[in-house]
Structure 1
């Protein structure tokens, strides 16, 4: 589905990949409705998109509220006339601790935002998407959704749930007008740790050399391209591509590599 002239709803559009998705879609001629729980961040996104202000609408919404998401459908239709696609980007990571040390409060928060927030968006907007001549759903999982990362087991579980739900949706909708794509970002240069209130050392190895991160703008471009190509899935970043291949060939070895790298970096 070409995004030019389409209306796309983007969650988590106040920062990081979400903001870059909003800006990238607008530059390609789409109308965008974006939501975020942080009003200040949304205002900054709107400021950066000032040249497209007639095509952008913003909403301060908690995606863990099913009622709020259900109410959003009519608000977006009232502003833009219809909805042609959704991008489920909003998400949080967990504190870098083992499951044994992670409180239930944090576990529930991660699952509610990452999985249930995505589910509420899909369930609320899918009836509208099915009415369109063509439409698309892009759900963002994570490299951690197919590859275990110590200290991020619950985050990974939430993204694995998004992965399987999205792949199931693709099968359910293959004979309809709605395309479905699952995205697996690797290490992306965003503020997700700060926004998730997670404390962690900087992304560097023991020699002080920084890991090369995919920029949020590059990640957004890859995902918008995937929508336009009706891709089944998209690996975002060379690290995600490499670890996907390795994990399918030798899952235990791939898991050990990630565990060792984190151990060596003192994470």
Structure 2
């Protein structure tokens, strides 16, 4: 689906990849409903839109609040007259600890935002998307959704759920006007740790080694890759050489790939 003149909803629009998606969509001629829990950063995104601000509506919403999400389609349609696509980008990581040390409140928060948020958004908007001549659903999973990262096992489980949910939707909607894409970002240069309330307590050498092993992709480059995927009706989109390499390695030898990642991340776990 070409995004020019389309109305696209972006969650997590207040920072990082979500902000980059809003600005990239505007450059391609789309109208955008920008949604985020943080009103301050959402307003910053709006200001960055500059002279195209008239094509952006702002919606302060918690994607893990089912009632709030259920009310969002009406607000978007009131602002833009229609809705043609959603990009479920909002997500958080867990504290970098093993599952045995992970508290239930953190478990529930990650599942509620990363998985239930995508379910709520999809359920709320799909009836409207099915009425459009062309429509698109994009769900952002993660490299951690197909490849285990120690210290992020629950996060990975939530993103694996997004992967299978999205691929199931692709199958269910094959004979409709709605196209579906699942996105697997590797390491993206964003402030997701800060937004997730996660403090990474590890020796400087450990974080430096991780950065060298897995160089990041900029949020702006990631946004362009995602939009290219939408416009090409891609089934899957991998962002970054790390995501592409780990996908290949995991398919080749799951056990060896899992040990490889453990050796890269064990210093972060302590």
Range class of TM-score, shorter chain? over 0.9
Query: How big is the shift at 1:264?
Result: 5.0
C-alpha distance in 2 between matches for 1:266 and 1:73: 41
2:257 pairs with 1:251:
no
CA contact (8 A) 1:8 1:32 kept: yes
Tell me which residue corresponds to 1:261: 264
Unaligned ranges ≥5, structure 2? none
Separation in 2, partners of 1:120, 1:140: 14
1:209 positional shift: 5.0
Tell whether the 8 Å contact from 1:204 to 1:265 is kept in structure 2 after alignment: no
How far apart are the structure 2 equivalents of 1:259 and 1:247? 13
Pairing 1:214–2:217 present: yes
SS of aligned partner of 2:59: strand
CA distance in 2, matches of 1:249, 1:211: 19
Alignment deviations for residues 224-260 of structure 1 (CA, whole Å, 9 cap, x no partner): 1000000000001000001001101111111111000
1:204 is the counterpart of 2:208: yes
Tell me the equivalent position of 2:36: 36
Alignment CA distance shift 1:73-1:231 (3 Å): same
- Asked if structure 2 preserves the Cα contact closer than 8 Å seen for 1:3 and 1:28, the reply is yes
**Structure 1: segments with no counterpart, 5+ residues:** none
Q: d(CA) in 2 for partners of 1:54 and 1:151?
A: 43
From 232, 235, 245, the counterpart of 1:232: 235
Q: 1:32-56, CA deviations, whole angstroms, 9 ceiling, x for partnerless residues?
A: 0011000110011011002211110
Shift of 1:131: 0.2
**Residue matched to 1:183:** 183
- Aligned counterpart, 2:143: 143
Provide the C-alpha distance between the structure 1 equivalents of 2:153 and 2:51, rounded to a whole number of angstroms.
41
Provide the rounded CA distance (Å) in 1 between the counterparts of 2:74 and 2:51: 25
The alignment partner of 1:234 has SS state of strand
Deviations 1:147-193 (A, max 9, x none): 00111000000000000000000000010000000000000000000
Aligned residues: 266
**TM-score when normalising by structure 1:** 0.97
Alpha-carbon spacing, 1:27–1:258, altered in 2? closer, same or farther (3 Å): same
2:151–2:269 CA contact under 8 A, matched in 1: no
For residue 86 of structure 1, give the secondary structure of its aligned residue in structure 2.
Answer: strand
**Structure 1: distance between partners of 2:33 and 2:25:** 11
Q: CA RMSD in A?
A: 1.4
CA distance in 2 between counterparts of 1:102 and 1:264 reads 17
Q: Determine the structure 2 residue equivalent to 1:102.
A: 102
Query: What SS class does the counterpart of residue 204 from structure 1 fall into?
Result: helix
TM-score by length of 2: 0.96
Range moving further from structure 2, 177-186 or 197-206: 197-206
CA contact (8 A) 2:96 2:268 kept: no
Cα distance in 2, alignment partners of residues 173 and 188 from structure 1: 30
**Equivalent in the alignment of 1:88:** 88
Residues 137 and 179 in structure 2, CA contact (< 8 A), matched pair in contact too: yes
